[in-house]
Chains A and B, each alone.
Chain A
Amino acid sequence: MDEVGVVERVDALSKRSIKKDSKRAALDLIIRMIDLTTLEGKDTAGKVIQMSAKGIRPDPTDPSVPSVAAVCVYPAMVKYAVGATLASTVRVVSVATYFPSGMADTTLKVAETKQVVAEGADEVDMVIDRGAFLSGEYFKVFDEIRRVKEACGDTHLKVILETGELGGLDNVRRASMLAMGAGADFIKTSTGKIQPAATLPVTLVMLEAIREFHDSTGVMVGMKPAGGIRTSKDAIKYLVVLNETLGEAWMSPDWFRFGASSLLNDVLMQIRWLETGRYASPDYFTQD
């Protein structure tokens, strides 16, 4: 990887001017791609149930606004999220494998995965063992992903590379290839617990790896940048990079997600602005 070239490419793409109908289409798609997330030690049933309501109906005054793709919670919260999203299209994502550090034995990670799947999670976001990766034990990392994938069964597996800990774009690409080879349905940048989290250069490198993997295997893999994407403007930049790297086939919540929380209200605000020509006060957007 050549970092200068990668940065230059994303800078060029960031200058696309997205206006009018294209902007509205993008904003709707962004909402449909959001994994609305709460991953805090203070999470409770109340928090998760309320956030799920927000995810199902992000703007109670405007029924044309779609639901988010999913809610993303800790394993202990899965049962509440499942209950709260029952009569909706919103899926339940559980982080697993001793998120965020992943510092546990593989058997424990597999057990945790099985448990969240049994409790009704539709998707599992696992973390890779960065320690093993950085010490060159690639097979260990690969094998662990494979075993977690087995434990998932039909449940979708997203593999978090935690790119902020990998130390460079060459490793981002290597980890992407490794995760896809081991059976990841999605690859994901970060836990959100480590800075830097999602960045455009890292996302471009992962998208290029997905393209390479698809070229050589025919298998489509999805992408999820997570952590630090807070504004519509930023999210649109990610969509441009996606659109011009992987193309139309990936422009769907089936293949791209945003791991985010505060992004949602910013998108709603932008939609309101497009419709009325005015910025509404934040008080008009619900906080859950």
Chain B
Amino acid sequence: MAIAKIPSTTHEPLLWEYAESRESTAILDLRPKYGLFIDGKFRAPKSRKYFPTINPANEEHVADVAEAGKADVDAAVTAARRAYVDTWGPMPGAERAKHIFRLARMIQERSRELAVLETLDGGKPIKEARDVDLPLVAGHFFYYAGWADKLDYAFAGVRPRPLGVAGQIIPWNFPMMMLAWKVAPALATGNTVVLKPAETTPLTALIFAEIAAESGLPPGVLNVVTGAGGTGSLVVSHHDIDKVAFTGSTAVGKIIQRELAGTSKKLTLELGGKAAHVIFEDAPLDQAVEGVINGIFFNQGHVCCAGSRLLVQENIHDRFVDKLKRRLSTLRVGDPMDKNTDIGAINSRAQLEKINELVDVGLAEGAEMFQPDCVLPDRGFYFRPTLFTGVAQSHRIAQEEIFGPVLSVLSFRTPDEAVEKANNTPYGLSAGVWTSKGSRILWMADRLKAGVVWANTYNKFDPTSPFGGYKESGFGREGGRHGLLSYMDWDEG
């Protein structure tokens, strides 16, 4: 061959940056000011007070929202009582089902709008709001709509009846999802609702109120009173409420339980957690890394069932931690409205301060901290994904719920030790186990004192599956057939 081939050069690798890909907010049609949703209509608060809600991703003002005072909560409970007595309580289950199915369909139709708003008001990545939160929200309404006319067959030998007016207080980490977990089963079982959304994330609940009005849900069946802890306290202590359902911190849960002691009100609590995520030596390690990442960094770690306490078998500890660190470095932290963002904004300045405080404690306790070298936006509330190694059960960062993107890594030697450490916490909401051995999964699930045990996966939710805690993580179940029990009483036979 006469002509030599042009030698192919060694190619420079491509440093591939993903261009920004922002979800448009044009789909939103927000009002500058929102009143309270009482008896089927939005109305100005008798308290005359409003408070601002901001976008935690850039600290910009989004809207003003009413702060419900005593007279407002009274009006909401009165409307709920009237609707319970006059319309919703006596309504046949099949008719209630139609209303709830309609709500579910309208949520689906407006799911992009609700997802964008959830991200705007709360800071979670649009990817999660769009692909996790909203599908589950609609799913929950569909699921409980299906139960509304079958309650007589849900539990053998009992005739169920509703409790009456439910006061429901929901947190800021999954505003719409927690709304669905509370409102759907309450309505399906024939109760009416006074809902108090979190003060940092009230907007999607208000859009849901709009949807309810538009759908023809009878006035008073759903009432939304916005405000902070003071408003929540008014709901809990109101004399004409029959049932309180609260999701939030264990500290507040304890206050509510004390408040309700000696009353006839029913109570369910879904509180904090410090879940153990146990990795055995025979686990599929690369997939376990993904599970751990999803377990603690999903929704910036603002998840009550977050796998925040990682227990790794000592003989794979170093190798596993190396893999985790490498994976941490590929997480994309930033504008939650960017479709490529993995970790969005911390929900509020107060929460960011709390995370900072506990991370300082971890450093002072002598744990070794790893954070990837990522650039955070100038404005807004952000925190780097953080990993602490060399953590002992005796450290505060292994005991207290941080509710942020911070993972504490501990080690264990034997399965017995893993169980002992996993259960060595006042909490008991969830746990995770990674092993290739099916028998060990069952052995662990038998012994872990946690309401949910995930095996070879984490943070999986489904409307059919009950969720709730042991010990100081609360009581009562949400989701599934068990979720009906939180909103019904029954007569034998």
Contact = CB atoms under 8 A, between A and B. Distances in A.
A255 B199 CA distance: 52
Given A86-B3, A87-B6, A251 B339 contact: no
A120 B19 contact: no
B326 to A, nearest CB: 9
Interface string A214-256: 0000000000000000000000000100011001111111110
A288 interface: no
Interface in B113-129: 127
Contacts of A44: none
A254 to B, nearest CB: 5
A253 B11 CA distance: 7
A120 B5 CA distance: 10
A250 B7 CA distance: 20
Contact of B11 (A19, A25, A239, A254): A254
B457 A5 contact: yes
A88 B18 CA distance: 32
A248 B16 CA distance: 7
Given A239-B16, A251-B14, A89 B340 contact: no
B18 A22 contact: yes
B8 A89 contact: yes
B15 A248 contact: yes
A171 B216 CA distance: 57
Contacts, number: 91
B344 interface: no
Interface in B1-43: 1, 3-19, 21
A15 B131 contact: yes
Contacts of B4: 86
B14 A29 contact: yes
Nearest to A87: B3
Contacts of B7: 89
B15 A4 contact: no
Given A86-B3, A91-B8, A9 B287 contact: yes
B290 interface: yes
Contact of B14 (A1, A25, A86): A25
A27 to B, nearest CB: 11
B58 interface: no
B18 A18 contact: yes
Nearest to B286: A208
Interface string B433-451: 0000000000000000000
A120 B339 CA distance: 47
A220 to B, nearest CB: 11
A144 B237 CA distance: 78
A6 interface: yes
Contacts of A91: 8
Contacts of A32: 11
B291 interface: yes
A1 B339 contact: no
A120 B340 CA distance: 44
Given A5-B291, A86-B5, A88-B6, A252 B12 contact: yes
Contact of B5 (A19, A29, A88, A239): A88
A8 interface: yes
A216 to B, nearest CB: 10
A120 B330 CA distance: 41
A32 B10 CA distance: 12
**Most-contacted residue by chain B among A5, A6, A89, A120 (CB, 10 A):** A5
B110 to A, nearest CB: 21
A19 B16 contact: no
A9 B21 contact: no
Nearest to B127: A15
A86 B9 CA distance: 15
A16 B340 contact: yes
Given A88-B5, A254-B11, A22 B16 contact: yes
Given A86-B1, A91-B8, A19 B21 contact: yes
B87 interface: no
Contacts of B330: 244, 247
Contact of B19 (A21, A82, A251, A255): A21
A17 interface: yes
B6 A5 contact: no
A228 B261 CA distance: 65
Contact of B339 (A17, A25, A85): A17
A7 to B, nearest CB: 10
B287 A1 contact: yes
Given A86-B5, A89-B6, A26 B457 contact: no
14 contacts: A1-B284, A4-B287, A9-B290, A18-B18, A19-B19, A86-B4, A88-B6, A89-B8, A247-B330, A248-B13, A248-B15, A251-B14, A253-B11, A255-B13
Interface of A: 1-2, 4-6, 8-9, 15-23, 25-26, 29, 32, 82, 85-89, 91, 120, 208, 239, 243-244, 247-255
Given A8-B290, A25-B16, A89-B5, 6 more contacts: A15-B127, A19-B21, A21-B17, A32-B11, A120-B1, A244-B330
Interface of B: 1, 3-19, 21, 127, 131, 284, 286-288, 290-291, 330, 339-340, 456-457
Closest 3 CB pairs of A and B: A5-B287, A17-B21, A2-B284
